[in-house]
Amino acid sequence: MKKMISPSMMCCDFFSLGKQIEIFENGGVEYLHIDIMDGHFAPNIALGADFCKELKKHTRIPLDYHFMVEKPENILPAYDISEGDIVSVHAESTVHLQRVLTMISDRGGQPFVAINPATPISAIEEVTDYIDGVLVMSVNPGFAGQKLVASTLDKIKRTRAFLDGRGRENALIEVDGNVSFENAKIMSGNGANIFVAGTSGLFRGNIEENLATMRKAIAI
């Protein structure tokens, strides 16, 4: 399955955003990762609907929305979801998970369910037919620059087996958090397909060079 890169836009240098997006487009980046946080589900506030609307005017790269908010069903309608955008909502964040996932597909998005490091894979048991992928958090949501929760490396492998065991061989696995070049190689070998690239690798120094290094690290 394809290996794809999704730069974490909360880690961008906002004073040279246009230049960075040009680099992403020239580098064939597949998605732009948009962290949305409400200060409750995740202890931080990040990237609003207006920022995303503006961003869509300046690039055709699909967005990879990551809702780290309580009751995402309430805030989802405020965001522009275009055909092909990924929209991840946390299994831990709503009692209406199946309804939210269908809200996403009804709007043309790719519904993904996200699970925190301590959330068992079984939490997605009842929604495997309603998702296009699983976002496996490799850190606890909230901030860039955190250290990998080591158990999540094996969790990627177990998630792959879980999906394949339910006939969802075509469901993708995205990883988010401390995706360094070294971690990305292991994550890719364990079955990850989409890599949220942040301060651990991509944004550390020359972005163009780091993009090429990341491509090499995830290629297997």
DSSP characters for 157-173? HHHHHHHHHTT-TT-EE
Which is nearer to ligand DX5, 128 or 186 (by Cβ)?
186
| Whether 176 is catalytic | yes
Q: Which of 61, 176, 187, 192 binds ligand DX5 (CB under 6 A)?
A: 176
144 in contact with ligand DX5 (CB under 6 A): yes
What single letter denotes the amino acid at residue 176? D
What single letter denotes the amino acid at residue 118? A
Residue 211 and residue 28 in contact, taking contact as beta carbons nearer than 8 Å? no
Q: Which of 66, 155, 160, 168 binds Zn ion (CB under 5 A)?
A: 66
Residues 12-31 contacting ligand DX5, CB under 6 A: none
90 in contact with Zn ion (CB under 5 A): no
**Residue 140: CB minimum distance to ligand DX5, A:** 8
Chain centroid to CA 13: 19
How far apart are the C-alpha atoms of 81 and 31, rounded to whole Å?
13
Q: Which of 35, 38, 85, 132 binds ligand DX5 (CB under 6 A)?
A: 35
Tell me 212's DSSP state: H
Tell me 8's DSSP state: B
Q: How do strand 172-176 and strand 194-197 relate by DSSP bridges?
A: parallel
**Residues 108, 110, 115: CA angle, nearest 5 degrees:** 145
188 in contact with ligand DX5 (CB under 6 A): no
| Whether 13 is catalytic | no
Q: How do strand 110-115 and strand 133-137 relate by DSSP bridges?
A: parallel
Residues 39-98 contacting ligand DX5, CB under 6 A: 66
Which is nearer to ligand DX5, 117 or 142 (by Cβ)?
142
38 in contact with ligand DX5 (CB under 6 A): no
**Residue 217: CB minimum distance to ligand DX5, A:** 13
β-sheet bridge partners, residue 45 = 38
For Zn ion, the binding residues (CB under 5 A) are: 35, 66, 176
For ligand DX5, the binding residues (CB under 6 A) are: 8, 10-11, 35, 66, 139, 141-142, 144-146, 176-179, 196, 198-200
